């Protein structure tokens, strides 16, 4: 199906995609493009990509069948604008970004019907191509966000590509996507970052609280070790849904605070039991 892949953004997610893609399409040649030459150099050494470049116009001589956007979502529009000046009208283009919504429609303006928005629900707090994993997407859900403009043929090819990588594909409206993941992904990351910041403020000159966390704290705040640039862009691109989710969390936290303050044992138990029951519904 694919003979040449152009990967734009050679980090953990992009590198993991390249490794998974190479496993499914072993005869495919992979060009990695990144503004950081050390990233492409390292990716070549690790066998993640075959050739690297810092310039988008290098894909013209390469002539890829598929272009994968794997940079922070805040860079997508500028990249799409530059790609629109190149002769790639028959090339499939998709992405790994966790924000869709109006961004999908903006990218379509530049990239046309062969762009298919994608978001694999996979990842870790790790960054850097050296941490890439070829099994990252196996058994994981991948959300595709086609619009009325999306080419059915392009959608089918991208869907089959993800299935070949072991992902479970689901289609979703771009704006619904941002509401859903603003709540279940972006909010938890915001809370984890904020919790670390709170512990920093609670630490005193004579006691460093970061010396004493147990397993629960480490598990809960693991995602606060994620790439700050990536998450800055996600929060800013999906700001409306993120703020709504934060406000809902603030209301729930205020409710918990009042139950503790009032010493209402039964109501506090009910609050905690309800949360526990909801948590147990998650596989």
Alpha carbons 81 and 79: distance in angstroms, whole number: 5
Q: How much of the chain is helix, strand and coil, in % rounded to 5?
A: 55, 15, 30
pTM for the whole structure: 0.92
Measuring CA to CA, how many Å separate 154 from each of 40, 131, 166, 182, 269? 28, 30, 19, 27, 52
Residues 86-101 pLDDT 10s: 999 889 999 999 999 9
Residues 202-229 pLDDT 10s: 998 889 999 999 999 999 999 999 999 9
Nearest C-alpha neighbor of 162 from the set 182, 136, 196, 185: 136
Q: Are the C-beta atoms of residues 113 and 142 closer than 8 Å to each other?
A: no
Give the chain's mean pLDDT. Answer: 95
Tokens, residue 176: 């619904």
Locate tokens 């905690």: which residue?
272
Alpha carbons 31 and 53: distance in angstroms, whole number: 8
Tokens, residue 99: 């924000």
Domains in the chain with CATH codes? 4-172 (3.40.50.720), 176-279 (1.10.3660.10)
pLDDT classification of 124: cutoffs 50, 70, 90? confident
Instruction: Give the list of residues 6+ apart from residue 23 with CB closer than 8 angstroms, or none.
Output: 134, 165
């Amino acid at each position: 199906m694919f003979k040449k892949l152009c990967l734009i953004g050679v980090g953990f997610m992009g590198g993991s995609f390249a490794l998974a893609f190479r496993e499914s399409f072993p005869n495919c040649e992979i060009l990695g493009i990144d503004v950081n030459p050390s990233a492409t150099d390292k990716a070549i050494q690790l066998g993640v990509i075959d050739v690297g470049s810092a310039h988008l116009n290098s894909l013209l001589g390469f002539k890829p069948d598929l272009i994968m956007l794997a940079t922070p979502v805040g860079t997508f529009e500028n990249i799409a604008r530059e790609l629109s000046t190149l002769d790639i009208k028959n090339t499939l283009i998709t992405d790994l970004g966790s924000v869709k919504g109006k961004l999908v429609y903006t990218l379509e303006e530049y990239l046309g019907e062969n762009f298919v928005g994608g978001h694999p629900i996979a990842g870790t707090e790790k960054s850097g191509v050296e941490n890439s994993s070829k099994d990252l997407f196996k058994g994981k859900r991948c959300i595709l966000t086609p619009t009325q403009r999306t080419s059915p043929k392009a959608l089918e090819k991208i869907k089959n590509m993800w299935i070949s990588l072991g992902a479970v594909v689901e289609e979703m409206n771009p704006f619904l996507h941002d509401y859903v993941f603003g709540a279940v992904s972006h909010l938890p990351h915001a809370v984890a970052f904020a919790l670390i910041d709170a512990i920093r403020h609670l630490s005193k000159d004579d006691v460093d609280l970061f010396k004493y966390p147990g397993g629960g704290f480490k598990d809960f705040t693991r995602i606060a070790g994620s790439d700050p640039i990536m998450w800055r862009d996600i929060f800013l691109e999906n700001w409306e849904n993120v703020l709504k989710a934060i406000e809902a969390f603030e209301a729930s936290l205020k409710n918990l605070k009042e139950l503790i303050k009032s010493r209402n044992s039964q109501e506090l138990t009910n609050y905690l039991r309800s949360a526990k029951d909801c948590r147990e519904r998650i596989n």
